[in-house]
């Protein structure tokens, strides 16, 4: 089985840059506007290619039906899913369903993760592992936590062949360049949502992508 995410991240690395991953909520402020925003985010970095991944809390997936979710996600062209509140020890059903549907599965590690937790989490991942650079809720910050580089190094020590992508806190190209200097991918969410909240819509999202794309290539 092949991993679309791992392949795309490896291609970016071969080009001497980190991958840029944009997060936008489906349906905000409405379905059409959210689709336009996602299109704007991708078009601004079209040369990099776009691999669609769903990020969701576990409860909606469980209620939808794990096997049905995996089957429908694959049929719709999705590459996999990020499940931030699901730990590998409780993910046997999802891991099996993802394997059957040839989907990537992404779990999270944090600065508080023990070496044993890093090992068990990365072993369950396919595509990449999501390294949360700070503790606490998501949101943009004026600086990127020093804990991010340490966490990436610790994670690579136990899983040298798995891509490590960093999220939580990146808001502009300067910070994206900082994270790209030590991580395989830069995940940006709140900064994109802010463009929508402040009414700049797809145009603002596109401009942000251009700024961030410059950063990961710096």
Q: What tens digit of pLDDT does each residue of 177-205 get?
A: 999 999 999 999 999 999 999 999 999 99
CA–CA separation, 23 and 54 (whole Å)? 9
Q: How does 81-92 read in b/e, with b if 16+ C-beta sit within 10 Å? A: bbbeebebeebe
Contact 147/203 with Cβ under 8 angstroms?
Answer: no
Helix axes 31-43 and 201-216, enclosed angle (nearest 10): 30
For residue 46, pLDDT over 90 is answered with no
Q: What is the pLDDT of residue 50?
A: 84
- CATH fold of the domain at 4-51+106-216: TIM Barrel (3.20.20)
- Residue 143 clears pLDDT 60, i.e. is over it: no
* Nearest-angstrom CA–CA distance, 202 and 13: 28
Q: What is the pLDDT of residue 135?
A: 41
User: How does the average pLDDT of the chain come out, rounded?
Assistant: 92
At 136, is the pLDDT very low, low, confident or very high (cuts 50, 70, 90)?
very low
Are the C-beta atoms of 140 and 149 separated by less than 8 Å? no
pLDDT digits (tens, 9 = 90+) for 75-104: 999 999 999 999 999 999 999 999 999 999
At 137, the pLDDT band (50, 70, 90 cuts) reads very low
């Amino acid at each position: 089985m092949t991993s679309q995410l791992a392949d795309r991240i490896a291609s970016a690395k071969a080009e001497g840059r980190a991958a840029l991953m944009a997060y936008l909520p489906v349906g905000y402020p409405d379905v059409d506007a959210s689709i336009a925003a996602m299109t704007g985010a991708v078009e601004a970095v079209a040369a990099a290619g776009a691999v669609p991944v769903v990020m969701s809390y576990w409860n909606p997936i469980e209620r939808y039906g794990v096997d049905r979710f995996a089957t429908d996600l694959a049929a719709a062209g999705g590459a996999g899913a990020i499940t931030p509140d699901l730990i590998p020890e409780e993910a046997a059903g999802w891991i099996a369903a993802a394997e059957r549907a040839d989907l990537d599965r992404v779990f999270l590690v944090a600065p508080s993760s023990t070496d044993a937790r890093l090992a068990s989490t990365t072993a369950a991942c396919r595509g990449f592992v999501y390294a949360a650079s700070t503790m606490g809720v998501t949101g943009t910050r004026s600086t990127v936590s020093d804990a991010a580089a340490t966490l990436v190094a610790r994670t690579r020590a136990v899983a040298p062949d798995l891509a490590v992508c960093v999220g939580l806190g990146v808001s502009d190209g300067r910070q994206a360049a900082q994270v790209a200097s030590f991580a395989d991918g830069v995940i940006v969410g709140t900064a994109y949502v802010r463009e929508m909240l402040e009414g700049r819509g797809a145009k603002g999202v596109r401009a942000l992508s251009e700024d961030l794309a410059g950063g990961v290539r710096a």
